[in-house]
Amino acid sequence: MLSKIIIYGDSMSVQKEESITPVESAKRAGSSLTLMIVFIVLYIVIAAGLQYVMTMFKVISYFKYVNAVLVLAFGWYIVNYFSNFIYWTVRAESFLMLIEIFLSVTINKPFAFIGSMSKRVRLI
């Protein structure tokens, strides 16, 4: 068990983190990486579709404002999943073991992330 000591003013508390296996770290890192790629692709598709629609209705001058909102929304998710990927990669005991497990998980179940993604979408 790992322990963190957090100091709040004059008081001090200890939080214990549960130990995570490299397999669990690989699954979480793989899920974060996959979701990051999904959000990048979604941003590209939605931005291209909006640009096409705005060009058809000749309101392309407002595209930069709409695109700014899209960049902020999708950028937050992309950065969030990238940071989760880095966190779970660093937290694994061995980077090479993580890559080996990640590849075996994605080769055996290439579309396993869809189930976890649908659970997250329902929560949002």
Q: What is the pLDDT of residue 118?
A: 46
What pLDDT shows up at residue 119?
Answer: 47
Residues of the chain under the 50 pLDDT cut: 1-2, 117-124
Three-class SS of the chain? CEEEEEEECCEEEEEEECCCCHHHHHHHHHHHHHHHHHHHHHHHHHHHHHHHHHHHCCCHHHHHHHHHHHHHHHHHHHHHHHHHHHHHHHHCCCHHHHHHHHHHHHHHCCCCHHHHHHHHHHHC
- Per the CB < 8 A criterion, the answer to whether 78 and 40 are in contact is yes
Domains of the chain, residue spans: 20-123
Predicted local confidence at residue 49, as pLDDT: 95
pTM: 0.61
Q: Which residue has the tokens 């705005």?
A: 54
